[in-house]
Each structure stands twice: as structure tokens, then as C-alpha cells.
Amino acid sequence: MKNFVLLLLLLPATLAYSQKAKKKNNRNTNTGSFYVKTTDSLPFLNYGLGTDRLGGAKMTFLDSNVILKVVDSFGTQYKVQLSGNHNAWIEKANVARTNWAFNPPYLSGSWTTRGDSLYDYLFISLPAKIPYRSRMDVNPSRIVIDLFGVVSNTNWITQLKSTKEIKNVWYNQEEDDMMRVYIELNHDLHWGYKIYYDTLNRLTVLVKRQPASLRLRDLKIAVDAGHGGDQPGASGIRTAAKEKDYTLLFAKELQSALEVRGAHVVMTRDRDTTLTMFERISHLYQEQPNLLVSIHFNSSSKESVQGVSTYYRYVGFRPLSQAILNQMLTLGLNNYGNIGNFNFSLNGPTAFPNCLVEVAFLSNPEDEQKIIDPVFRKNVAEKIVAGIEDFLIQAEKNQ
Ligand SMILES: [Zn+2]
């Protein structure tokens, strides 16, 4: 990863970009709106046109074939109107034109919650694949979903006893054309969820349960080695160490440390190969791990900057990143921080708790010496495992 000083330097350019965008919006607003639908490319909505080296702040990922109303255009993005009060932006590459002809608001129908042998579900009947966004609340733990362009005609909510994680569901008609769905969870920690439209076109929220057994040998852990192939990542300041080589070495060490304890480990890559973020995430969605750890090394233009940091996007997944950081700090590394709302792609999935670990700085001579030391590599693997175990103990207490 590159440093954050660079981000600050880029900020004025970003502001200028949004100013320009604003002017353009004023000129184009309300002219020639049309409908598009999302394609099968992990489409996501951005809040605005702001950007940094990892892209703009994301509002939500969407399923494919979700209908969106385009009201403006700027550069590679469309501005879409979600409801009377809400707009967002989406990459033009993530949508295709459609001749959809039904204007919102749409009426919501009945709801059902039920569980099968693996997961809990909430099904909501809707007449169209409308856009949504979600968030994770903590204390109390719940999933909150906004349904845009929807007016309630929900007069029937069936809650079946087969659910194990969903404690309760209800809604508020938050605005005239925006329905807010609440899913209260049984456990304090979030284990992930997925929102999609099922084969009956119902909006479906698949809710992951806290695993019945929280022993490592009963869990599937995904380990991601950052970069690879023609994406070398950062490089060492004194040596020719490439980030992609060391992420793989550390990931394999972590794999061994987890497997010794009986965990089932899934690697996004186990050799020097080029993988897009789309490929990594698609692979992870197929594997459905209980949690994910991604390994990177940091880099700064300031040689003195050093230390370990862990990253999360959703506050519901913060506990894993805190537990891993706390253990990593016992190695005597500088504390570079626990960073939230981070824009890293593998912090994006809501489907499983995930944590990015930036082990240390390749641009700092002291950190670099540690990174190339095989003993340090072993110690880091042990500490990440200990962090995961602390997280599991925390979950156990919340049974
Ligand atoms: Zn990196």
C-alpha cells in the first residue's frame, strides 16, 4: 500500500473534481433521464464523485439486474436517483441500458423469515429489483437496510422459529418513498450477510449465523496474499524485497499456523500469479469462509513512518481487526492504528468478517529488516492466529 501523505496531496485535486462535477450537475439535472440495470460485475454505488487511490467512498454493493434511474452523467459515472431524497453514482461499466417503463414508488408485499440447515433468511416481496443499501449497527447488533422507491403495503410479516441468528424484523416507512428494514441479531458480533434477489425475485437477506462451534478446527478461514504476478506492490527501501513475494510468504506461514490447529484454510493465491480484486472476491463468495485475513505491507514516502495497522470498512467487523492488532502489537511494532471505513476491496464484502493487516512498512529500514526475517514471519503468523482466537473467545462470551 502507498502512504497516506499522498492522499492528502491528492485532496485539492479531488475537491476541484467535485466542484467541476457540481457545475455540470447543475447544468444537466432533470434532462433526459433513463433506466439502466446493473450487470454481473460486482456493481456498487458511490456516495459522490470524491475519490482516492482506492476509489470513491462506496455506499453499497448491488446484485445484478437492479433497476436504476440515470439522471446525470460525469466522466465514467452515472448519477442515479434512488428516491426523492437520495442519489448515488455508479460506474457506467457496471450497468446496461434497459427499456424498463415502470416508475416508482413500488409497493412492498409480505415478509417471511426462516432458517435452513445453514443460514437464516428474510424474504421481502417487491414488484421490481429496486436498489437498496445496508449498514451494520452495533450495540445492539442489527442489519439495517434502506429500500429506495418503496412505499409500504406490508401488512404481513411471518417470523418462523427456524431462524437462529435473526431475533426480530420490522420496518419504518422512513421517508415517503424509502422503507427502512431492521434485522435484529441474536449475537453481539456480526458474522456477515448477503443481499440479493432470489429466483422468485424476492429481495433476500441471507444472514450468517455465529458458528455453532468456535474452535478453529471447525472453521474455514480465508487468507489473502496481496498483489502477485504483474502487480508487485511496494518494494523495500534497502533491499529489492517485493511486497507480492512477502505477502505470499507470510500468507503461507499463516496458512500453516492455522492448519496446525486444524482450521480449514482457503488461499486466494498460493503462487506468484496475477489476480484481479473481482477474481479474489468471486472466489471468496464461492468458498464462503467464516472470516478473511488479507496480508499487505505498507509504504510511505517518509522513511521514518513505521508500524503495524489493521483495517476494516464496516463497524460490525471492527472487533476482528482490533483483536489482530492487539496481538500484533506484542511483537514490539509501532502502532500505526486501527483504521475504519477503509476503501480496500477485500474490506468490501459484507458476507464474512474481514481484516486487512498491513504488517509493517517496507519503506522503513527497521521494519524492512523484520519483514525479510523468517523468524519474524513465524511470529507474525502466530500473532494473527492468536488475534483470531481472541476474537473467537469474544464471540464465545456472547453465546
Ligand atoms: Zn499492498
- Residue range 144-190, pLDDT digits in tens: 999 999 999 999 999 999 999 999 999 999 999 999 999 999 999 99
Residue 7 has pLDDT above 70, yes or no: no
pLDDT of residue 28: 43
| 222 φ/ψ angles, rounded to the nearest 5 degrees | -95, 135
Q: Tell me the fold of 216-397.
A: Aminopeptidase (3.40.630)
| Mean pLDDT of the chain, nearest integer | 91
- Expressed in angstroms and rounded, the spacing between residue 363 Cα and the centre of ligand 1 is 12
pLDDT of residue 176: 96
Architecture in CATH of 33-102: Roll (2.30)
- Expressed in angstroms and rounded, the spacing between residue 390 Cα and the centre of ligand 1 is 25
- Expressed in angstroms and rounded, the spacing between residue 372 Cα and the centre of ligand 1 is 16
Whole-prediction pTM value?
A: 0.90
pLDDT of residue 242: 98
* Per-range mean pLDDT, top range of 13-22, 40-49, 196-205: 196-205
pLDDT of residue 216: 98
- Expressed in angstroms and rounded, the spacing between residue 232 Cα and the centre of ligand 1 is 8
- Expressed in angstroms and rounded, the spacing between residue 360 Cα and the centre of ligand 1 is 11
Rounded to an integer, the average pLDDT of 268-279 is: 96
Q: Which listed CATH number (2.60.40.3500, 3.30.360.10, 3.40.1370.10, 3.40.50.1100) goes with 106-207? A: 2.60.40.3500
pLDDT of residue 399: 65
Please, which pLDDT band fits residue 12 given cuts at 50, 70 and 90? very low
- Expressed in angstroms and rounded, the spacing between residue 119 Cα and the centre of ligand 1 is 33
pLDDT tens digits for range 77-129: 999 999 999 999 999 999 999 998 888 899 999 999 999 999 999 999 999 99
pLDDT of residue 366: 98
Q: Is 19 exposed, middle or buried (0-12, 13-18, 19+ CB in 10 A)?
A: exposed
- Expressed in angstroms and rounded, the spacing between residue 362 Cα and the centre of ligand 1 is 10
Decide if 246 contacts 296 (C-beta within 8 A).
Answer: no
pLDDT of residue 101: 80
Give the span between the Cα atoms of 207 and 165, in whole angstroms.
7
User: Which residue intervals of the chain bear CATH 3.40.630.40?
Assistant: 216-397
User: Which residue intervals of the chain bear CATH 2.60.40.3500?
Assistant: 106-207
- Expressed in angstroms and rounded, the spacing between residue 356 Cα and the centre of ligand 1 is 10
HEC assignment per residue over the chain: CCCCHHHHHHHHHHHHHHHHHHHHHHHHCCCCCEEEEECCCCCEEECCCCCECCECCEEEECCCCCEEEEEEEECCEEEEEEECCEEEEEEHHHEEECCCCCCCCEEECCEEEEECCCCEEEEECCCCCCCEEEEEECCCCEEEEEEECEEECCCCEEECCCCCCEEEEEEEEEECCEEEEEEEECCCCCCCEEEEECCCCCEEEEECCCCCCCCHHHCEEEEEECCECCECCCECCCCCCEHHHHHHHHHHHHHHHHHHCCCEEEECCCCCCCCCHHHHHHHHHHHCCCEEEEEEEECCCCCCCCCEEEECCCHHHHHHHHHHHHHHHHHCCCEEEEECCCCCHHHCCCCCCEEEEEEEECCCHHHHHHHCCHHHHHHHHHHHHHHHHHHHHHHHHCC
Query: Which sign does the torsion angle of CA 71, 177, 36, 281 carry?
Result: positive
- Expressed in angstroms and rounded, the spacing between residue 177 Cα and the centre of ligand 1 is 42
